[in-house]
Amino acid sequence: MEIKKGPDFKYKLCVSGAAETGHCGDDSFKKAQELGREIIRQNGILVNGATTGFPLHSAMGAKDVGGMTIGLSPASTEREHLDSYKLPLDYLDVIIYTGFGFSGRNLLLTRSSDAVFIGCGRIGTINEFTVSYEDGKPIGVLEGDWETDEVIKNMMEKSHRVNPNVVFDRDPKILVEKVIALINEMRKVSSPVYKNTDVLEDEDEKKFIL
C-alpha cells in the first residue's frame, strides 16, 4: 500500500450536461452518477454549474461515495438561484454565486476546473465544450445513448482540428483515467512555486537563523 504523506492533491473535475435529460435516453441517469463516483474515487472534487439534470446526477454519485462538490451558479444570490433560475441546492457543499448569467458562469466554471467532462446535452453543454476547448482544457466526452458526443466529433472533423486534449469513452471509469493522465501531462510543463529562483537573489531579508 502506498504510504501517503502530506496534504492530498485533488483534481478539480467539472461535469457538464443537460439540465433536462428527456432526450438523453434511459441510462443517462445511471451513467452520470457513475461518472460522479469515479471522479471522487480517482482523487477528484466534482465541480458543476449548480443545475438540474445530468450535472445533478453526477453530484449525487459524488456524494454517494463521500466526495466534495462545488457548484457555480449563474445567479447572484440564493434567492435568485431558486426563484428566477429555478435551480437546486441539493448535493453541493459549496455554491458560488457568480451573478454572471449562464455564459459568464460557464466561463468561470471551466476556468476553475482542471478538466471538463461533457455528458449528454444540447446548446448549453456545447457552449461549455467550446469554452473549455478555447482555453485549452483537457476534455473528456462521455459516449452514450445520446448524440452529443457525435455532434462534437462532427464539429471537430469539420473544423479539421485534431485535438489530443479531447478524449472519448463509453466507460466513465476509463474516461476519468484518460482525463487525469492528460492533466498530469500538462502539469509537468508548469513549475511548482519553489522553482521560482528569483527569490535567491535577495540576500538581505534572511532572518530565520536561530
Partner 1 sequence: MENKNSKKLKLTFYGGVGTVAGSNFLLENEGMRILIDAGLEDGLSKKEDGTYFSYDPASIDVLLVTHSHLGNIGMIPFLVKAGFKGRIYSTPETKELSELIFLDSIQAFKVDGVSLLSKEDIDKSLSVWSTYPYYTSFDIGSGFGVEFKNSGHFLGSAIVEIIFNNKKIAFTGCMGNSPHPLLKNVDFVNDIDYLVMESVYGDKLHESKEDRREMLEDIIEETVNRKGTLIIPTFSFERTQDILFELHRLSENGEIPEVPIFIDSPFSERIIEIYEKGYENFNSEAKKMMKEKKGIFDFPRLKFIETDEESVEIYGTPNPKIIIGGAGMSSKKRITRHEKKYLPDPNSTILFVEYQSVGSLGRQLQEGASVVKINGEDVPSRVQVETINGYSSHGDYNSLFEFVSETRRSLKQVFVVIGEPKSSISLVQKLRDYLGVYAVFPKKGGSYDLDFSL
Residues that bind partner 1 (CB under 8 A): 19-22, 29, 52-53, 56-57, 60, 88, 90-91
Least Å distance between CB 19 and partner 1? 7
Q: Which is nearer to partner 1, 57 or 105 (CB)?
A: 57
Q: Which is nearer to partner 1, 19 or 183 (CB)?
A: 19
The answer to whether the CB of 191 falls within 8 A of the CB of 208 is no
Least Å distance between CB 155 and partner 1? 26
Between CA 57 and CA 33 the distance in angstroms is 5
Least Å distance between CB 114 and partner 1? 25
- Tell me the residue ranges of DSSP E strands in the chain: 11-16, 44-48, 69-73, 94-97, 115-118, 139-142, 166-169
**Mutual orientation of helices 54-64 and 28-41 as an angle, nearest 10°?**
50
Q: Which is nearer to partner 1, 44 or 53 (CB)?
A: 53
- Helix, coil or strand: residue 95: strand
Q: Which is nearer to partner 1, 40 or 166 (CB)?
A: 40
H or E element, residue 165: none
Q: Which is nearer to partner 1, 88 or 124 (CB)?
A: 88
Q: Quote the Cα angle for 17-21-25, to 5°.
A: 110
Fill in the DSSP letter of residue 205. T
Least Å distance between CB 185 and partner 1? 34
Least Å distance between CB 95 and partner 1? 16
Instruction: Kindly tell me the sign of the dihedral angle through the C-alpha atoms of 67, 72, 77, 80.
Output: negative
